[in-house]
Amino acid sequence: MALHRFDVDDLPATPWKNGGGVTREIVCQPHGAGMTDFDWRVSIAHIASDGPFSAFPGVDRVITLLSGGGVHLQSEGGDVQHRLDTPLAPFAFAGEAPINARLLAGDCHDFNVMTRRAVCSASLQLVRSACDGPAASQGLLLAVQGHWLLEGASTQTLVPQQGLWWSDASLAWRLRPQSPDAALLALTLQFH
C-alpha cells in the first residue's frame, strides 16, 4: 500500500509562468509524470491577480474555493460563466476551455483536481459528518476545518491543512469528524 501524508504548509510553492499566482502540488500520478502526461493531479493554487487559466486539452478539472473572495470564471465563448465565491463548493469544467479568471475581492486559495479524460474521472465530495467513504484504488483526503479521525487499513488523524493520498491499493475510509466545525474534501478516482 502506498499511503502518503502531507501538510499543505510544507508543500513547495511554484510560481505561475504568467506571474498571477503560485501552485502547491500535492500529487501528480503516475509517479514521474509531468504536466503533459499525468493521469491525475491535485494542487492548491494561490490566485493573486486576474488572468487566463492554462489550457489542458483532454483533461477534466474541478476547482473548489478554500479561502478568500473567489474568482469569476468566464470562457471566451461564454460556455463557462461561474462565480466561484462559495467556499467548499466544487465546480467542474473542461480543461481545454479558454478560461479567464477575474478576482472578486482580493486573492484566494483554490483546491484543484485534474484528470485525464481518457484514463479516469474524479468524484470530489465535501464531508461534514461521519460517513463511510467508497472504496477506491486511488484517492485523496484533505482536512479543511476541524480535526478528523480516519479508520481504514490504518487509523489516521488529520488537523486542518493536513491530508493523505494513496495509490495502488483499494482503500475505504470511515470518516469521523472530531469537532463540530469539521469539513473535509474527499476525492476518489475511477479508472476506465
- Looking at the structure, give the CATH architecture of the domain made up of residues 11-116: Sandwich (2.60)
pLDDT at position 79: 87
Please count the other Cβ atoms lying within 10 Å of the Cβ belonging to residue 160: 17
Q: Is the pLDDT of residue 118 over 80?
A: yes
Average pLDDT over residues 2-30: 91
Identify the residue with better confidence: 77 or 85. 85
Class of domain 120-191: mainly beta
Closest CA to 23 of 114, 94, 103, 135: 114
How confident is the prediction for the chain on average, in pLDDT?
A: 95
Identify the residue with better confidence: 15 or 146. 146
3-class secondary structure, 10: helix
3-class secondary structure, 155: strand
pLDDT at position 78: 84
pLDDT at position 1: 58
d(CA 7, CA 29): 18
Average pLDDT over residues 147-161: 96
Q: 117 exposed, middle or buried (CB, 10 Å; 0-12, 13-18, 19+)?
A: middle
Closest CA to 39 of 175, 189, 155: 189
3-class secondary structure, 143: strand
Q: Please report, for the chain, the start and end positions of each structural domain, with discontinuous segments joined by +.
A: 11-116, 120-191
CA–CA distance from 83 to each of 23, 77, 97, 137 (Å)? 21, 16, 16, 33
Q: Is the pLDDT of residue 4 over 70?
A: yes
Q: What string of DSSP letters covers 104-125? A: SSS-EEEEEEEEETTTEEEEEE
pLDDT digits (tens, 9 = 90+) for 21-69: 899 999 999 999 998 999 999 999 999 999 998 889 999 999 999 999 9
3-class secondary structure, 8: helix
C-alpha cell at 15: 510560481
pLDDT at position 70: 97
Q: Do 11-116 and 120-191 share a fold? A: yes
Percent of the chain with pLDDT over 70: 99
The structure's pTM equals 0.96
Q: Is the pLDDT of residue 114 over 80?
A: yes
Cβ 27 vs Cβ 140: under 8 Å: yes
d(CA 141, CA 106): 27
